[in-house]
Chain A
C-alpha cells in the first residue's frame, strides 16, 4: 500500500463527513423515537444512506488497507491469466454492475417483506447494521482471498485451507441449500401466479420471447446483445400489456391455473430448460432479467425518493415479542435475522465473490468498491422492499401474508381474523384492494412477491396516477417471476454440476458433463428434489411459506457461516490473527443466530415453531382419530406429520454439517497458532502488475495523473 494520503484530514472533508453523519443520525433518531405516529420513509432512506456512506468511507477502507493490506502493485488473476474470455481485466464500473446484477435477485425483495410482520424497525436495523459489519465484509473478504488464489471457488478454498473433511461437509451443505433455495423460490412464483391469468400469460410469454432472442443471437446476428435485448424488452412489455386483454377475454380460463397445476408446469420447465443448451433459453433470459432488474431497481429508488411515502406499519408489532406471527412463527431473536438474509448477510454471495468476479477484477485495491460497494447497493434494495411492504395498509399486509388455514378464504372471515390481531380492515376494502390490481383475490397470497407488487404499485401510482395501478402490480410480479424462473434454470444446472461431481466418484462417466444420459438423470434428480419441496409447500395445510421459509433462511445463513469460517481461517493462517475478529465476530453472531433458530425449529415445545413438537401434536391427533385445525381431513393430518418430519430432519442435518465445518476450521486455526510450520497457505505467488487503474468509483487526482502517465508511456492505452 502506498502511504500517499496525508495523515491529517482536510477541513473540507471533515465538514462533509460530519454532515453525512448528522443526516444518518437524524434518520436513526426519528425512526427510533417516533411511537404511535406515521413516519415518512425519508427517514429510513436517510438512516440507510448516511450509515452506508460512513461505513464505506471508514470501515471498508480500514479493512482493505489495514487488514487485507490490498496491494496495488500485485497483478490479479485477470491480468496474469488473461485469456480474453473468462479471465480478463474489466473496468471497475462495469464489474460493479456485473457483480451487483449477479448477487441481487429475488432474495432482497422477499425476505424484508416477510420480516415486516414484526414491524419495520427490527428489519431496518438488521439490514443496515448487518450489511455493514457482516454481509459486505464477507463479500469483500471472500473476493479478496479468492483473487489471491486465481479465482478459486469457496468449496475449493474450504478443501485446501481447512481440509478434506470440512471441505466435503461444505460441499454437501451447499448442495442441500441449493435445493431448498430452488424449492422456495419456485413456491414464491406459484403463489404469485396462482389464479392470475394476467400474470401467468405474461410470464408464459417470456419463454417464446427468450427462444426468439436465443435464435437471433445464435443464428441471425451472433453476439449482438444490446439490439436483441431491446427487441426482447419491447416484446416483454407488450406481453405485459397483452396480459390484461387475455385476462378479460375468453382465453382467461386457459391461463387461470390452480397452484398444483403450476407446480407441474414449473418442474417440467425447470427440467427441460436445464437440459437444453445454454444459448436457447438461459442466456437470452439472463439478458432480459438483468435489464429488467437494473431498470426496475432504479425506477423503485426514484419512486421512493420522489413520493417519499409514509410507513403505515407499526415500528415494532406485538408479534416480535410473542412469536406467534402468521407469516412465520417464532420471536424476533433469532427469526428476523434468518428471514432477512439477502440484503444483510447472504451466504450465496460468497459463491459469486469466489466465482466469476475474482477472474475479472483489475486491481486488488478495487475489492472495496466491488465487494463491499455492491453489497451496500443490494442492502439498499432490501431497504426499499421493506419500505414497499410497510407503506401498504397493515390489515391488507396481514390478510395477504397469513396462510389460508388461519384467515379462511372469504374477505369477511379474513377481515374478522386480522381485526382480532389489532389491524382494522373492512371486507369491502379487502375486496377493493384486489379489484384495484385486477386480481380475483389477494387473500393468503404468501411468499412476498404479491405484497411487494402491491407496495410497488402504491408507490409508482403515486407518481404516475392511480389509473396504472394494476399495470404496475403485474409489472412487479412479472419482474420477480422472470428472474426466479431464470434462477430455477441456472440453479438446476449448478446443482446438477455438483451432483455429477459427487456421482462421478461412484460411476466415472457421470463426471463427463457432456455424457447425455448422465445429464438427463442428474437434471431429473435435481428437479425432482426441489420439485418435492415445491409440491409440499403448495399442499402444506399449515402454509408452505410459513413452514419452508425458515428452513431456507437457516440454510442461507449456514452457508454464510461456512464462508465466514473460511475467511477467518484464512485471516489467521495468513498472519492476520490480530484482525481475525473482522470476520470472526460476524461468524460468532451468525452461528449463534442460525444455530439457535435451528435448535428452536427442531426442539421447541411450541408446535408453531418446533417441527418435531408439531409432528407429535398431529400424530397424537391421528392416533385419537381427531382432526386438529387447521387440517381439514385425515389426509391433511398425515401430510403435516410427513412434512414436519422431513423439515425437522433436514434442519438438524444442515446445522450438524455446519458445526462440522466450524469445528474443523477452529481446529486448523488453533493448530496454526500453536505450530505455524504445520500449515500451508496456497496463495498464488506475487507478480508485479503492469495495469494502472483507480481503486474507487471516482478517481482521485493522483490516480488520474497515474493513468495519464501510463497512457503516455504506453501507446496502446
Chain B
C-alpha cells in the first residue's frame, strides 16, 4: 500500500517536472540558478521582470519559438 502511494507520488512528480520543463515554466528557476552560479554578485531579476524580458526577446526576434506548418 505504502509503496504504491510512493510510486504514485513519484509518477505525479515526474509528470509535473515534465510539464513545467516542456512549457518552460521552469525557465525562471533555471535562470536564477544560472546567474547565481556564474555571477554571484549580480542582481537577480524578479519573476515578473524575467518573464517580460523573455517575451520581449521573442518580439525582437520572432524566429525564436517558430512553429512549422
- A pairs with B: yes
Q: How many residues of B contact A (CB 8 A)?
A: 37
B69 and A556 contacting across the interface, CB-CB below 8 Å:
yes
Main secondary structure of the interface of A (DSSP, over half): helix
Closest to A291 in B: B23
Considering the chains assembled together, what is the distance between the CA atoms of A91 and B21 in angstroms? Answer: 9
Shortest CB-to-CB span from A229 to chain B, Å, is 7
Shortest CB-to-CB span from A33 to chain B, Å, is 35
**A104-B68 contact in complex given A223-B47, A278-B55, C-beta closer than 8 Å:** yes
A349 and B68 contacting across the interface, CB-CB below 8 Å:
yes
Considering the chains assembled together, what is the distance between the CA atoms of A83 and B53 in angstroms? Answer: 13
Interface string of B29-69 (1 = CB under 8 A from A): 01101110000000000011011101111111111111111
Considering the chains assembled together, what is the distance between the CA atoms of A105 and B63 in angstroms? Answer: 16
**A185-B69 contact in complex given A85-B54, A86-B64, C-beta closer than 8 Å:** yes
| A646 at the binding interface (Cβ < 8 Å) | no
| A431 at the binding interface (Cβ < 8 Å) | no
A88 and B67 contacting across the interface, CB-CB below 8 Å:
no
| A103 at the binding interface (Cβ < 8 Å) | yes
Return chain A residues, CB-CB under 8 Å to B16.
226
Considering the chains assembled together, what is the distance between the CA atoms of A278 and B50 in angstroms? Answer: 15
Closest to B19 in A: A226
Considering the chains assembled together, what is the distance between the CA atoms of A86 and B19 in angstroms? Answer: 18
A487 and B35 contacting across the interface, CB-CB below 8 Å:
no
| A393 at the binding interface (Cβ < 8 Å) | no
Considering the chains assembled together, what is the distance between the CA atoms of A91 and B18 in angstroms? Answer: 10
**A84-B69 contact in complex given A93-B18, A222-B47, A223-B51, C-beta closer than 8 Å:** no
A497 and B63 contacting across the interface, CB-CB below 8 Å:
yes
A494 and B66 contacting across the interface, CB-CB below 8 Å:
yes
Return chain A residues, CB-CB under 8 Å to B67.
101-102, 105, 286, 352, 483, 486-487, 490
A493 and B62 contacting across the interface, CB-CB below 8 Å:
yes
Considering the chains assembled together, what is the distance between the CA atoms of A351 and B65 in angstroms? Answer: 11
Return chain A residues, CB-CB under 8 Å to B55.
218, 277-279, 283
A278 and B27 contacting across the interface, CB-CB below 8 Å:
no
A223 and B58 contacting across the interface, CB-CB below 8 Å:
no
| B5 at the binding interface (Cβ < 8 Å) | no
Closest to A182 in B: B69
Shortest CB-to-CB span from B66 to chain A, Å, is 6
A94 and B18 contacting across the interface, CB-CB below 8 Å:
yes
| A445 at the binding interface (Cβ < 8 Å) | no
Return chain A residues, CB-CB under 8 Å to B60.
513-514
Shortest CB-to-CB span from B28 to chain A, Å, is 5
Q: How many residues of A contact B (CB 8 A)?
A: 58
Shortest CB-to-CB span from B32 to chain A, Å, is 8
Shortest CB-to-CB span from B68 to chain A, Å, is 4
**A352-B62 contact in complex given A223-B28, A226-B25, C-beta closer than 8 Å:** no
| A601 at the binding interface (Cβ < 8 Å) | no
B57 and A105 contacting across the interface, CB-CB below 8 Å:
no
**A105-B69 contact in complex given A84-B34, A88-B34, C-beta closer than 8 Å:** yes
Shortest CB-to-CB span from B58 to chain A, Å, is 5
B47 and A487 contacting across the interface, CB-CB below 8 Å:
no
Residue from A101, A283, A348, A496 in contact with B58 in the complex, judged by beta carbons closer than 8 Å: A283
A106 and B69 contacting across the interface, CB-CB below 8 Å:
yes
Shortest CB-to-CB span from B11 to chain A, Å, is 15
Return chain B residues, CB-CB under 8 Å to A483.
67
Considering the chains assembled together, what is the distance between the CA atoms of A86 and B61 in angstroms? Answer: 12
| A569 at the binding interface (Cβ < 8 Å) | no
Considering the chains assembled together, what is the distance between the CA atoms of A153 and B62 in angstroms? Answer: 13
Residue from B23, B61, B62, B68 in contact with A346 in the complex, judged by beta carbons closer than 8 Å: B68
Return chain A residues, CB-CB under 8 Å to B25.
223-226
22 A-B residue pairs with Cβ-Cβ distance under 8 Å, sorted by A, are A83-B34, A85-B54, A86-B57, A98-B22, A105-B67, A105-B68, A105-B69, A106-B69, A107-B69, A223-B28, A223-B47, A223-B50, A225-B23, A226-B16, A278-B55, A279-B52, A279-B55, A287-B23, A290-B23, A351-B66, A494-B62, A497-B61
Residues of A whose CB lies within 8 Å of any CB of B are: 82-86, 88, 90-91, 93-94, 97-98, 101-107, 153, 181, 185, 217-218, 222-226, 229, 277-279, 282-283, 286-287, 290, 342, 346, 348-349, 351-352, 355-356, 483, 486-487, 490-491, 493-494, 496-497, 513-514, 556
Residues of B whose CB lies within 8 Å of any CB of A are: 16, 18-25, 27-28, 30-31, 33-35, 47-48, 50-52, 54-69
